[in-house]
Amino acid sequence: MFKTRQQIADEYGISRKTLYRKLKRYGVLLPTQGLLTPEQQQTIYALLGDPSPGHFS
């Protein structure tokens, strides 16, 4: 299932900007437009961990 950057950020309870900064730290640059593929989502989850509530609190 394709997701937006906002949906991924919401799963972590963070803003889209914070998601971008965290991924940039790992050298991950996402396309500027379009939905995220399942493969891109798996990369994010592998780097940032489980998006359970309060993960970054």
Whole-number Å distance between alpha carbons of 39 and 17: 21
Predicted TM-score (pTM) of this structure: 0.84
Segment 18-43, tens digit of pLDDT: 999 999 999 999 888 899 999 999 99
Domain borders along the chain are: 5-48
Give the pair of three-digit tokens for residue 9: 């950020």
pLDDT band, residue 55 (cuts 50/70/90): low
Which residue in 36, 29, 32 sits closest to 9, CA to CA?
36
